[in-house]
Amino acid sequence: MKGKLKTVLFGFDKKETLNYIENYQRESHRKISALEQELSAIKEQAEVLKSENAAFEKELISVKNRLEAAEKESIAIKKASDEKDKKYIDEIDETYKQLEIMRDNMKDALDNFIKQVDNINDNLENTKNAIDTNSQNKSVNDKIMCI
């Protein structure tokens, strides 16, 4: 569309001016129609995006809920594991104490056994000496009797 109108004596050419206005109106209507179509498409796109956003928000809430549940379960599992570990540690400590008592009892029993063996050895040595003494006395007595 041209921006200049033909002029005639005492003003603008009426026919030319009316054609210009009609063309301007048609062009304006065409542009308005195109803009309205573009606006409509943008509104549709906005609705689709709002719908997708709502779905994403719903999914986000679901993921947050699952995460919270998983965290609670993790805490419960850790607590149970800690309690179980403490129980095992307590059992190990108790077993260790019992083994120490058994070791001390075994040491005492071994010491008593060694004392008994030493007493038996002493008794055997005393008996041997007594036999040797009796034997020597018998020999002397036999010699005395022979005389």
In the predicted model, is pLDDT for residue 102 greater than 70?
Answer: yes
Q: Is residue 133 part of a domain?
A: no
Q: In this predicted structure, what is the pLDDT of residue 17?
A: 86
H/E element, 11:
strand 11-12
Q: pLDDT tens, 123-132?
A: 999 998 888 8
Per the DSSP assignment, residues forming a β-bridge with 11 are 8
Any domain includes 145: no
Residue 138's pLDDT band (cuts 50, 70, 90): low
pLDDT in tens, 24-59: 999 999 999 999 999 999 999 999 999 999 999 999
- The predicted model gives 54-73 an average pLDDT of 98
DSSP-based three-state secondary structure for 1: coil
In whole angstroms, what is the distance from residue 27 CA to residue 1 CA?
9
pLDDT of residue 15: 86
Question: At residue 10, does pLDDT exceed 80?
Answer: no
Residue 143: strand, helix, or coil: helix
DSSP secondary structure letter of residue 3: S
User: Can you give the residue range of the structural domain that contains 93?
Assistant: 7-119
Whether 5 contacts 13, CB under 8 Å: yes
Contact 60, 53 (CB under 8 A): no
Quick check: is 2 in a domain?
Answer: no
Total tally of structural domains belonging to the chain: 1
36 in a structural domain: yes
Is residue 143 very low, low, confident or very high in pLDDT (cuts 50, 70, 90)? low
